[in-house]
Structure 1
Amino acid sequence: MAFSMPQTSIRGRLFLLVLALWIPAVAGLGLQAYSGYSSQKQSMLEEMQQQAMALRFGIDTEIERRLTLARAMAALPSLEARDLATFERAARAAVKESDERVVLLDRERQYFNTGAPVAAVVARHPGALFVTSGMGISFVPHGPLTPAPLMAVLVPESGRTPPQFNVGVPFPPARVQQLIQQQRPRAATVTSVIDSQQRVMGRSRDPERWIGQRASYPALLEMAVRGGSGFLSTQTLDRVASLTYLSPPGRYGWAVVVALPEQALTNAASELALRAVASSAVLLFIGLGLAIVAARRISQPVKLLEQAAGALLDQRVPAPLATGLSEIDRVGEVLHHAGQRAHESGRVLEARVREASEEARKAEASLFEARKHEAIGRLTGAIAHDFNNLLQTISMGLQVVSRSVPEGRHTRPLQAALAASGRAADQIRQMLAFGRTQQLRPQPINLADLLLRSQDLTDKALGERVRLVAQLDPGLPALMADPIQLELALLNLVFNARDAMRDRGGTVTLRASVVDGDPAVPDAPRLLRIDVEDDGPGMDAATLARVFEPYFTTKPVGAGTGLGLPQVQAFARQSRGDVRIASTPGAGTCVSLFLPVAALEAVAPPTAVQHARRSDKVLRVLMVEDDVLVASVVVAALEHASHSVVLCRTADEARALLEQGQCVDVLFTDVMMPGSMTGLELVAWCRENRPGLPALVATGYSARPAGGVCKVLRKPYAIEDLLDALDACTAGQPLLQV
């Protein structure tokens, strides 16, 4: 049964396309609105908490200041001698230069208040606080001389037990209100200060009404009584549902309550939701408008095309179309030519049929060729691992035989077989190159040869006003780097120098010298320093500090991307080197590229002849390899080199041995193998559970980065490469002594 698509118009499909694009946009706007609301709410909560803690600290500071003054006055000898007149004069002198006041009280009377011009004995408020030890903060609805509420820090007189007098320093509610206003609370929030008895000592809204009232919401009251702190949903004293934060009590039992009305949070959410809805509506309106315009521009040409097709069905030659849409016009042209050809003779029709058949055959052949290449690309990855294992077995076996057979008539066939194995490995690498990202391939490079190869390109790019001068010592050693990337880096530096001197011309000088050691590159004791210097205008300090930032450029729009120097820096550091730049305004610029010098053995031509080992260490090797042939040859090669080998077929088996405490010096593992773990996953497990165990990975296919390993050996590898890699991995490790 054939499946047919539902019939829809172009306009309908455009509308569906608009909706398909609009719905994800609406979802994204909704998520953005929700995220904005969550962030805004979290910001409000953090602001409430910070405001409460800052206010609590200010309250503690104010109480501490008055407590210090009260204790100092309570220790005066005149009070102990009951010379109250002298004590009053001392108190007035102590607060003369400040706005503080000192009062002297007993259980029933107030003897004087330095805030009043003359001393007057007045009765205290019934039940007013009297402190016999330590300190206390009294609160009365109104003072003896004023109807306003009054607070005071009280301490008992010194030297008398029980004390007769208390010395107090008033703490007016107005000061608490000042501290609240200094925090600049949000207009919607209500900030209150409560004492150790949970009484309101200050409030940002209607303080005259609520000072002295006890907090009434049960959950808040219970949390304050037990000295807790945190957020909770409450109602304020004026019955407003709020999200409230209670600070921890201060040194003197006072705490701060900051309440944010829930309506404020609801308003913030509503505002963000309305913005999202408005943005969605605008997007939908614009999308539908564009769909209507597009439908109108497309519908008329389609109708003309339909008329041309009808003319062709009526055996008439349709006229060429000129609608302005290239696709429609091309179809109209095809219909026009089809109408002309319909009137030709049967011979022409048969020729066209034969031509169409030939084109179909070519298309089928092209399709077959494309599918064949696709199959080759897919099969490459599948066969590379197994084929490299076979090559590893062959090459390693030949190397073992080469070590055992004396020089003679068998040497040349063995060397030829080894060379053939190497060529086979190159073929595998070429197969694996399909669709894979190329990595850096460092090799020994003669700098002079590299410059000669790129001379034509640089001469043409520099032009007539800028010339390149190379000052190279013919005895310079080879450097170790990827030649293509090095050439690109040098061209980048030369072209940058050219651009700096484009207006007035000049000279770009390239120098090279050997540097013995550099603190910035500890792994490369010998480096080749390549200086690219120009006599252009130079750079100031601000520009020089940003030259290695990606996309930073001083060139005009369209003349530079800002990626040249960052790419040079990335190449140098990936090559185990570095790059530096020095510049002075008016004195030109010098960029110095530091790259490692190639080792002598890396420069020497390869040879299949056995060479001496670099180390006489005897290693205990835990080898993980599922291929029987590879395992048999490599184990024999390692044991021939006096190493001991513990062989595991899977990573799971090796992990079990390590968990049992198996004593080994180095882990040598393949990547792809059966079981629940790959070789790279085994290395990651060792990095967490056996961090001191070096790891060496061998692979014939995997392109995954092998983080945490000393070296990656590409199959097939030479015996000497394996032994050198094991030496390098275990350098500095405590090993079994020979």
Structure 2
Amino acid sequence: MLASRPAASIRSRLVLLLLALWLPAVIGLGLQARAAYLREEEATRDELRQQASALSFAVQAELDRRLTLARALAALPALKARDLRAFERDARLAVQGTTDSVMLVDRTQQFVYTALAQSTVVPRRAGSLFVERDMGVSFVAKGPVSGNPSIAVLVPEAGTPSPQFNVGVPFPPSRVQEVIAQQSYREGSTVSVLDAEQRVMGRNRDIGRWLGMQASHPGLRALAARRGSGFVQTMTLDGVASLTYLAPPGRHGWTALVALPEAQLRQTAQRLALRAIAVSAVLLALGLGLAALAARRISRPVQALKDAAGELLAQRVPEPLHTGLAEVDQVGSVLHGAGVRAREAEHVLEARVAQAVAEARQAEANLFEARKHEAIGRLTGGIAHDFNNLLQTISTGLQVVYRAVPEGRHTRPLEAAMAACGKAADQVRQMLAFGRAQQLRAQPVDIADLLLRTRELTGKSLGERVELVADIDPALPAALADPTQLELALLNLVFNARDAMPTGGTVTIRASLAQEDVGEQAGVALVRIDVQDTGHGMDAETLARVFEPYFTTKPVGAGSGLGLPQVQAFARQSGGDVRIASTPGAGTCVTMLLPLARGPAAAERPEAPRERQPARPLRILMVEDDVLVASVVPAALEHEGHQVTLCRTADEARALLERQDCAADVLFTDIVMPGAMTGVELVEWCRTHCPDLPALVATGYTSRPPAGVWKVLRKPYAVEDLLDALEACAAAGRPSQP
């Protein structure tokens, strides 16, 4: 046996509660601090981006101004006429009153330089920039005249594809420094201007040391070389780890960057973290103080509550508590009430145990009843299957004889026998409808016509003391239902009404169009059929059980208790429902709700076999395990000129098809049969391996067609229906080979 853990005190529980409240607060503060840091970092990034972009734009403007001047001078007629004196005169006039100067160079010499009082020809340094198209910006660490670093915007002379001269507008790097100084930056920032070759042309720190040197960080150089922009974690020329933003390069390839030391970003994060820690510490200290105070206030009431519990444990009634703590006083009151009601609870417990035993026995009886119903349903399906095979044998034999006997006095007994087979098949369908083992054959049914056809049978069944009254709406549309099952349902209701009036009375059948306002049919137009009697009625207890199978109030032998359950099963399978209302001494009214049919009621087909036109002979592969059916149906088909290959099981038929020993135009198979394969599985196999072989299925148990089946025949079927279905299947499949 495991040892129990020691119980925790109120003080420790309060501390845990405090921590449970404090930790989310700390987490919230941390998340808030992080969010503030991220917002500040994003603001810093935006500031760096704006500063670098503004500086790049200002440097671009300086280059553009000198480019405009150089292009104007490069188009002077004096230069085109090679009159260098006139060009120098015009150039001096162009820059008069400004700090700019103009120079004229070729690949090796400098001819004009307006910064001097008198221009002289001086040689250029080897490898100096000479532009043949568009423009260029050159940098020399030591000018040929001044000996100082110089930056110049160069353009080729205009009007010739092979220029001899370049016109340049030089300016000192100090001008770039002035542009940098005109902008405002965050303290500690490093600001640089790079030319197209990633050389430093301006810097807010130590420009004399770094002028003309390439950017040191390879990632920064690679980003600038591909004319990109963005943030890069770099190490500045001063050796400071920084977050650097490189602005998009201008038209001349020059760009600007602003770097902020990462230490400043970390200082922001540390400041926010320290603030969050300080607030958390204050909250924890306050919470601990409150927890200690609360523990003192709670300990005494809890001790009193403990004493009251001890009284109750000793089977004594504890006194109500008045500690000043509402919750403890409420628990004390509960303990006091528990002591008072302890003995009463013993009696209640005994009563409830007895009730639970009774409910368990009732549940066991209900389970037994449900299993009995399930067994009856399975038995009904099996009996229906076997009985339909027997009816199929009898019906087919009668039809074969009927077709062979000349019309006369001998045909009437045969027709009566075939009609009896049809009635027997209807009885089987009624059994299956109760067990829900088959799909109903719904079709439009005219209620008035149905009552007229059953009037004679109904009138004889009611007797002389019971009057039958029909009230049918003349404009009532057809109902969608199985006509045979609907007829049986109406007969069941009429017979129940007759039995409820042993001394006589009136049975009224009403049919009208109604709109149901409850249940699944709410808001749907339905055909409503009421069967009302003037009998003795039912009480509430009987009314609650009328739809239970085998429940009946009739004497032994006078009723089976299946009438109303069959009616309910039929109505619900048809898509409707059944309602019942009864008042003791005032009669009972049973209401059937059926769906409307979209078309008019179908005319009733004659039961006698019809004349058929001769059809082409078919090769039929028939699979039937019932010996009696297999003895008559092939003979009937062969009598019509068809060739039948009979197999007792689906396994035998599959083996025959696999060996290709059978050339068939149509497969005709039962569903339920012995062996490893059923008729449905045989059809599925044929869909894959014999896709051109159409399938016709016959069954006495269900009419739900399997996949790949053209039609389902319900046993017992007429020979004419079988022949029509076979011919239609053959026409839908591959053409028969001679």
Q: TM-score, normalised by structure 2?
A: 0.45
Largest Rg, 1 or 2: 2
